[in-house]
A and B are shown apart, each in its own frame.
Chain A
Amino acid sequence: GAVVSQHPSRVICKSGTSVKIECRSLDFQATTMFWYRQFPKQSLMLMATSNEGSKATYEQGVEKDKFLINHASLTLSTLTVTSAHPEDSSFYICSAMGLANEQYFGPGTRLTVT
């Protein structure tokens, strides 16, 4: 089956620093990847849609200059949280879209900003 990896799985950083999260589709190519944020015991909130070779499309209320997304290849999308603050602490999860529009999710990245 389709496998999506995320790295790192957990990261702790200091306020004001930047953190990069990688999302890779390991055994298939994904033109489209999605980035979500999930708070404890809540649903997934779509942050942005990442399309290979073009600019990401951000959802309303998501700052594109704070959450930089790069989809440089058909198997890799990255999310960089710039100048992180404690309120950015969350579970960030990516997904890659399959041929039938199903989404294969990565295991997620737990970000803690101190």
Chain B
Amino acid sequence: GQQVMQIPQYQHVQEGEDFTTYCNSSTTLSNIQWYKQRPGGHPVFLIQLVKSGEVKKQKRLTFQFGEAKKNSSLHITATQTTDVGTYFCAGRDSGTYKYIFGTGTRLKVLA
């Protein structure tokens, strides 16, 4: 079945450093979504990418969808302590209606 992997699993950065998490699917995706889950909280929708090669920005966050629509990345510039949490990608397989969540990347930001 469809698998969605994320690397790294954990990342500790100093405040102000950049951070990137990568998402890779075993199958071609119709679209991909990104979510953030704070410790003790529930996932919160960040963005959806649909087009091959699409790049979207939200303030310090840059999201990219690969040309082959099998991978994606989230880059945070100049991390802040408020960026702490687990970032999940969720890929929608081209042939189904459901989203499969990636394994997640847990980010810690050291002040």
Contact = CB atoms under 8 A, between A and B. Distances in A.
A34 B98 contact: yes
Interface residues of B, number: 22
Nearest to A2: B45
Given A43-B102, A49-B98, A105 B48 contact: no
Interface string A79-112: 0000000000000010100001111111110000
A111 B90 CA distance: 25
Interface of A: 32, 34, 36, 41-46, 49, 60, 93, 95, 100-108
Given A34-B98, A101-B31, A43 B88 contact: yes
Could you tell me the dominant secondary structure of chain B's interface residues? strand
A43 B101 contact: yes
A41 B106 contact: yes
22 contacts: A34-B98, A34-B99, A36-B101, A42-B104, A43-B102, A44-B88, A45-B101, A46-B99, A46-B101, A49-B97, A49-B98, A93-B42, A93-B43, A95-B43, A101-B33, A102-B33, A103-B33, A103-B35, A103-B45, A103-B90, A107-B42, A108-B42
B44 interface: yes
Given A101-B31, A103-B35, A105-B45, 10 more contacts: A32-B97, A44-B43, A44-B88, A46-B98, A46-B101, A95-B43, A100-B48, A101-B48, A103-B90, A105-B43
Closest 4 CB pairs of A and B: A105-B42, A44-B101, A102-B45, A105-B43
A57 to B, nearest CB: 8
A24 to B, nearest CB: 14
Nearest to B100: A46
Contacts of B100: 46
A108 B41 CA distance: 8
